[in-house]
């Protein structure tokens, strides 16, 4: 099970999830950047991820669709702002479909993957919101529980690759 790290948010618009994952960073990065792998861990069970389209490069588009057990789908379009293979992914929902502004920007995610030694990864997800209200809404939606569960699923997959 991933070890929790206590990293404080930078301000009142940020949420942070930080873990030591028992898998090498290259494998953890693959789980974030290969659509067939993303489908296996991205949504907190019993939700699923039936569709993933990703052009994992700076400026590339992303579409990840989560589905509830009753079949309702939740599309998450976005753009990669920065991709440093094996090290860092920055994405946002502020743009969709090749830099077309989205209807309601909500967040930017900054993911870092660092070697922790002994085949482990220091994984930090900083989620920056447009307002403190958006951050509060994301927290009430279950950010810590949902992203925490997904990180456990990510670790399980990455450690088996």
What was the pLDDT predicted at 6?
93
Q: Which residue range is the domain that position 81 belongs to? A: 3-160
Q: Which pLDDT tens digit goes with each residue over 113-158?
A: 999 999 999 999 999 999 999 999 999 999 999 999 999 999 999 9
pLDDT at position 42 over 80: yes
Q: What is the pTM of this model?
A: 0.95
Q: Which pLDDT tens digit goes with each residue over 69-81?
A: 999 999 999 999 9
Structural domain count, the chain:
1
Q: Where are the alpha helices (DSSP H) in the chain?
A: 25-33, 35-41, 132-140, 143-160
Q: What is the CATH number of the domain that holds 128?
A: 3.30.530.20
pLDDT at position 99 over 90: no
What was the pLDDT predicted at 96?
85
pLDDT at position 98 over 90: no
CB 139, CB 15: distance < 8 Å: yes
What was the pLDDT predicted at 101?
93
* DSSP run (H or E) holding 125: strand 120-129
Other Cβ atoms less than 10 A from the Cβ of 110: the count is: 18
Mean pLDDT for 97-117 is 93
* Residue 49 binned pLDDT confidence (cut-offs 50, 70, 90): very high
């Amino acid at each position: 099970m991933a070890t929790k790290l206590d990293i404080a948010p930078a301000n009142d618009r940020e949420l942070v999830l930080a873990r030591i994952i028992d898998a090498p960073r290259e494998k953890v990065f693959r789980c974030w950047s290969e659509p067939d792998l993303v489908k296996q861990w991205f949504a907190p069970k019993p939700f699923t991820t039936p569709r993933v389209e990703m052009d994992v490069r700076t400026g590339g588009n992303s579409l990840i669709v989560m589905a509830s057990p009753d079949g309702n789908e939740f599309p998450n379009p976005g753009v990669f702002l920065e991709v440093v293979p094996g090290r860092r992914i920055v994405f946002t929902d502020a743009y969709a479909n090749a830099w077309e502004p989205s209807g309601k920007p909500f967040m930017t995610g900054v993911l870092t993957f660092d070697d922790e030694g002994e085949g482990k990864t220091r994984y930090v997800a900083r989620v920056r919101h447009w307002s403190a209200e958006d951050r509060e809404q994301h927290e009430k939606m279950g950010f810590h529980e949902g992203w925490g569960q997904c990180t456990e699923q990510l670790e399980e997959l990455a450690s088996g690759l």
